[in-house]
């Protein structure tokens, strides 16, 4: 049975403008430039340049449009004051004109190059193979990854060929073809594991040299001990001196564990350009923050469309339906342009407010650039200072960078949890990581410090930290375990 019921609910919904404002706040400077260009392409009312209008013309236009608001019942309320008021037009600049007349800006061309797999296929065409062998070799090449390895087992490839291409073959036939591929450049391509990859490379070297011959034996017969750095076992089992082992290891370390990655491929090479959103200058102990707005154009509302409204105001009684539709369109675009300029200004104010709060909170650090001076700081700390929501602070910190006199850093770098010392002082986890790096950097590489020993050293210095926490920080620093840091 259907029933109609009237209920009242309290819901929080974001307007399209609020959603776009959030997106503007999240994006870094490089993407902001692209976003502004896109908006200018879609909205003819927006144009590049500084606002420059005569006050008399402005007042006259406001008066005419003000009268229209009272008389025009078919259109939405509209006042030019809403769009072209001098107080509403932001006086800030969105870019710095820091190009000199003599500066040369040239486009540097780059070659298209050849991909890694195209390079292998070219070499395949130079080999004397039957049509069947060439077809099988082509299939094997398709299974080689970008590092140059054949990760799939030959037995699996045999099944693939049988089920997908109706080609009957066996592991021995594929192995023969694989040996041909393993003779391709770069050396080591087509290997099925790291051991085979390094052996393929060392076998192309001069085997008459003692260190090369020894390196080959280590890779072939003692690879497990080599990867685990059990050097004592290798010395004992091979009956060699530590000096001989060290020379052989030096030869092994010259080999390339990823032969495919060494192949230059400009088309697939991903280069990330970091454009700092903030610039911080240290002027004799005084920190000066500025927004980096280079290459971002100034925005203004087009005078052409203002004149169009003026013309309509003068002849509104005789306006045709098409003219009224055109004016409605202009009103919508004016509204959108005004909102976009205001949103850019609000984005700027929010960024500067948040960054100034971070700088004041970490003032000592920004003066010296020493990680040990970083205080524990979480998003809530900055939210409390600025009066903004935590989610807003998170969006500001996301994908933003600051250029300082000691380097370029992501804003997220300055946020870290706290840890108490024996004296009750709260220190940043960033400081703990810095100390860990120093201890590991100065350790005896013959007997590296274990996580347990590192925890004991930190505890002796007053930092109450568990071994598992040391292991977590070490992994975050991309430092291997003690066994893998061992050197002769």
* First-last CA distance in the chain: 84
Tally the residues of the chain.
488
Among 208, 214, 209, 266, residue whose Cα is nearest residue 237: 214
What residue has token string 């992501």? 410
Asked if residue 143 lies in contact with residue 157, where contact means CB atoms within 8 angstroms, the answer is yes
**Where in the chain are the domains?**
114-144+149-185, 193-255, 418-485
Q: Which residues are within 8 A (CB) of 360 and not within 5 positions of it... i.e. 6 or more apart?
A: 385
Rounded CA gap, 201 and 256, in Å? 8
Distance CA 222, CA 343 (A): 65
Measure CA 208 to chain center: 48
* CATH number, domain 418-485: 1.10.10.60
> For every one of its 488 residues, what pLDDT tens digit does the chain have, with 9 covering 90 and above?
667 777 776 655 556 666 767 778 878 877 888 888 888 888 887 777 665 544 444 444 344 444 444 444 444 444 444 444 444 444 444 444 444 444 444 444 444 557 888 889 999 988 888 999 999 999 999 999 989 999 999 999 999 999 988 889 999 999 999 999 999 999 999 999 999 999 999 999 999 999 999 999 999 999 999 988 888 899 999 999 989 999 999 999 999 999 988 765 444 444 557 788 888 888 888 888 888 876 566 777 777 776 776 676 666 666 677 777 777 777 788 888 888 888 888 888 888 899 999 999 999 889 888 877 888 888 888 999 999 888 888 888 888 889 998 888 888 888 877 676 666 666 777 778 888 888 888 888 888 888 888 888 888 877 788 888 888 888 888 888 888 888 77
Instruction: Tally the C-alpha atoms within 13 A of residue 24's C-alpha that lie toward its C-beta.
Output: 24
The pTM for the full model equals 0.54
């Amino acid at each position: 049975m259907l029933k109609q019921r009237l209920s009242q609910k309290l819901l929080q919904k974001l307007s399209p403008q609020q959603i776009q404002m959030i997106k503007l706040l999240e994006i870094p400077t490089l993407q902001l430039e692209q976003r502004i260009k896109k908006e200018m392409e879609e909205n003819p009312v927006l144009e590049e340049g500084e606002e420059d209008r005569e006050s008399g013309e402005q007042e006259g236009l406001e008066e005419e449009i003000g009268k229209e608001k009272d008389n025009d019942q078919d259109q939405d309320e509209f006042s030019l004051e809403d769009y072209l008021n001098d107080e509403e037009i932001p006086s800030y600049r969105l870019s710095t004109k820091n190009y000199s007349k003599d500066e040369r800006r040239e486009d540097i061309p780059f070659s298209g190059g050849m991909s890694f797999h195209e390079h292998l296929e070219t070499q395949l065409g130079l080999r004397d193979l039957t049509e069947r062998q060439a077809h099988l070799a082509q299939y094997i090449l398709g299974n080689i990854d970008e590092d140059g390895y054949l990760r799939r087992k030959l037995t699996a490839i045999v099944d693939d060929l049988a089920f997908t291409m109706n080609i009957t073959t066996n592991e021995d036939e594929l192995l023969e073809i694989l040996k041909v591929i393993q003779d391709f450049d770069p050396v080591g391509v087509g290997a099925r594991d790291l051991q085979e990859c390094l052996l393929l490379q060392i076998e192309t070297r001069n085997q008459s040299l003692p260190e090369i011959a020894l390196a080959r034996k280590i890779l072939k017969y003692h690879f497990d001990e080599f990867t685990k750095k059990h050097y004592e076992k290798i010395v004992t089992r091979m009956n060699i001196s530590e000096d001989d082992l060290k020379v052989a290891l030096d030869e092994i370390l010259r080999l390339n564990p990823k032969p495919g990655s060494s192949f230059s491929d400009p088309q697939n090479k991903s280069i990330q350009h970091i454009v700092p959103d903030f610039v911080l200058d240290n002027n004799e102990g005084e920190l000066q923050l500025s927004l980096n707005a280079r290459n971002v154009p100034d925005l203004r509302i087009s005078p052409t469309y203002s004149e169009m409204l003026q013309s309509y105001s003068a002849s509104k009684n005789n306006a045709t339906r098409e003219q009224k539709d055109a004016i409605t369109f202009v009103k919508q675009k004016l509204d959108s342009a005004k909102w976009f300029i205001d949103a850019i200004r609000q984005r700027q104010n929010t960024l500067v407010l948040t960054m100034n709060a971070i700088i004041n909170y970490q003032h000592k650090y920004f003066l010296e650039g020493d990680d040990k001076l970083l205080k524990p700081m979480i998003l809530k700390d900055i939210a409390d200072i600025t009066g903004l929501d935590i989610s807003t602070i998170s969006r500001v910190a996301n994908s933003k960078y600051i250029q300082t006199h000691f380097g370029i850093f992501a804003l997220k770098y300055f946020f870290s949890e706290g840890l108490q010392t024996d004296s009750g002082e709260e220190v940043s986890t960033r400081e703990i990581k810095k100390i860990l790096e120093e201890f590991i950097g100065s350790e005896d590489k013959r007997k590296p410090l274990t996580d347990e020993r590192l925890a004991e050293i930190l505890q002796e210095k007053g930092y109450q930290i568990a071994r598992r926490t040391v292991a977590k920080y070490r992994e975050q620093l991309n430092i291997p375990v003690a066994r893998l840091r061992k050197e002769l």
